Amino acid sequence: MDIITLIKEFTPRTDLQQNSKDGILNQLNQYGEKLYDRDMLHGHMTASAIILNPQLDKILMVHHNIYDSYAWPGGHSDGEEDLYRVAYEEAKEETGVEKLYPISRNIISMESLPVKEHMKNGKQVKAHDHYNVTFGFICSEKEQLKIKPDENKSVNWIDIEKLDQYCEEEEMIPIYQDNIHHIQYLMKEKRKNYEKLPERLLHWYKKNARQLPWRRDQDPYHIWLSEIMLQQTRVDTVIDYYHRFLEVFPTIYDLANADIERVLKLWEGLGYYSRARNLHKTAKIILERYEGKFPRNYKELLTLPGIGSYTAGAIGSISFNLPVAAVDGNVLRVISRITEDYRCIDHESIKKEIGENLEEVYPKDQCGDFTQSLMELGATICLPNGVPLCHQCPVKDICMANKNGTQEFLPVRKKKTARKEQQKTIFVFNVQGKIALQRREEKCVLEGMWELPNVEGILEKREVSSYMEQLGIFRYRIEKSKKGQHIFTHIKWEMVCYYIQCEETFGAYIWADTEALEKEYSIPTAFKKFLNSK
């Protein structure tokens, strides 16, 4: 939208803004595009940025040399008619921040501001007017700040309650305060969209929900099993595992009475094996403590191994119609976009607040459908990485990110830390078709799982020979080697595997034949990929 249209659509909140709007439109009608050039000595167009933190209680300001006061960042249009872009770029340049999130592309305020005579780059600049438009932004306080030495003395976050202690231009304080209050109002209004969600989502969900096996009933065992499997795992992968698991353990009694090795074997390939161990533990607790029936109380659900707030919310709302939210990454993304909330969703306090806000609008007798409608929207429409299918969205009319074109900025996440890399040498010791296995003792990833023998670091062939001698094995044949890698959430393994034929068993290993490998021992994918190698 062009700046003239934005100015015309701006609704003044004060007499100053009304007079400024009338004056700026008059100047633009009289001088046209010339007003965007600072060579217009009587006055010219500028753009400023009001920048608040996500909590809306601090403002980011620069100490301008010209005004000898803390003020908003901004700059001259210098021929650029896209004044939103001017405000955005000048704010980043003057403060040093890398990420600024727009509150909207609309003008927040409008001012005709007198500028006193001053020196600029060694030249005398006569007094003139700035015909200024202001845009609002959100910025994290964790962003690194830096000054622009030729213009600013410092850049700081200032408590909005202490603004008058930092701003030496008394006439600007009410302007800043009005902008701050307006932004706070806009953000508060955005959060009212919670109230509009149930009506829109429930109708859409009934017509568009995917037919998934765990949606056929509200059995808490089925809901619990599916939610645990779906953690860190795609739906299309989970479906087959879900069916196989229930074929072997159709009830929670069957799971509770099962051997843990059988449970882990069925889980093989899903990863994150602590989930399977906690399933087994929880099944036993429910059998012993609750006579095989899931507790219907949210707080009691939270006491069970492997059940956090999200899973407890899913079970409670879907199985027992409790108004408790299940807030995962999908739901956080949906809500942060609908309300255009720029606070970091990785903070537990924000996650908790979103859950509480949702619970206030849970529809009576439709809690399960509402929970699943939010999940469904995030999984199928409000997709991550800035590519949501907004044209298909049932809440596009109330979504503030859709309205303001800010989907790509949301949700705000912490910067991901680089994965730690580890190197390993894996051994497939083969004695007449039997393969050596050992129990993993490391107190970290894959703890307690069966693994192929391995050592830290990448060994060359000659080093493997030395290692075999250390084991007391002298009659063997290195048949081949193969490289591979496996990526966990926070770790990446770079591996080389040596396939070694030995004449007799040795060490404290378990020696398993092909049938045992397939049916008895659960071997994580990181190692099993080498067993499947030809």
* Main-chain phi, psi angles of 303, to 5 degrees: -80, -10
Q: List residues bridging with 311 in a β-sheet.
A: none
Task: Say if residues 276 and 245 touch (Cβ distance below 8 Å).
Answer: no
Q: Rounded to whole angstroms, how far apart are CA atoms 421 and 306?
A: 27
Return the HEC string of 291-357. CCCCCCCHHHHCCCCCCCHHHHHHHHHHHHCCCCCCCCHHHHHHHHHHCCCCCECCCHHHHHHHHHH
CA distance 250 to 314: 20
Q: H/E element holding 18? A: helix 15-31
Strands 74-76 and 118-120: unpaired
Residue of 227, 268, 340, 451 marked active site: 227
Instruction: Give φ, ψ of 215 to 5 degrees.
Output: -100, 5
Q: Are 24 and 110 in contact (CB under 8 A)?
A: yes
Burial profile 9-47: b = 16 or more Cβ within 10 angstroms, e = fewer: ebeeeeebbeebbebbeebbeebeeebbebebeebbbbb
Q: Give the containing element (helix H, strand E) for 149.
A: none
Helix (H) / strand (E) element for 284: namely helix 274-289
* Structure-token pair, residue 417: 């830390």
61-88 burial: b if 16+ Cβ within 10 Å, else e:
bbbbbebebbbbbbbbbeeeeebbebbb
* Cβ contacts of 430 within 8 Å, gap of 6 or more: 499, 500, 501, 502
Alpha carbon distance 401, 146 (integer Å): 29
Classify residue 487 by its DSSP letter: E
Count how many Cα atoms sit within 13 Å of the Cα of residue 466 in the half-sphere of its side chain: 6
Distance CA 261, CA 268 (A): 10
Q: Quote the CA–CA distance of 355 and 347 in Å, as a whole number.
A: 13
- Does the annotation mark 356 as catalytic? no
CA gap 295, 304 in Å, rounded: 10
Q: What is the largest CA-CA distance in the chain?
A: 97
Structure tokens at 29: 């009608």
* Distance from the Cα of residue 178 to its chain's centroid: 32
CB atoms within 10 A of CB 252: 24
Compute the distance between CA of residue 251 and CA of residue 205 in angstroms, rounded to an integer.
29
Q: Catalytic amino acids?
A: 227
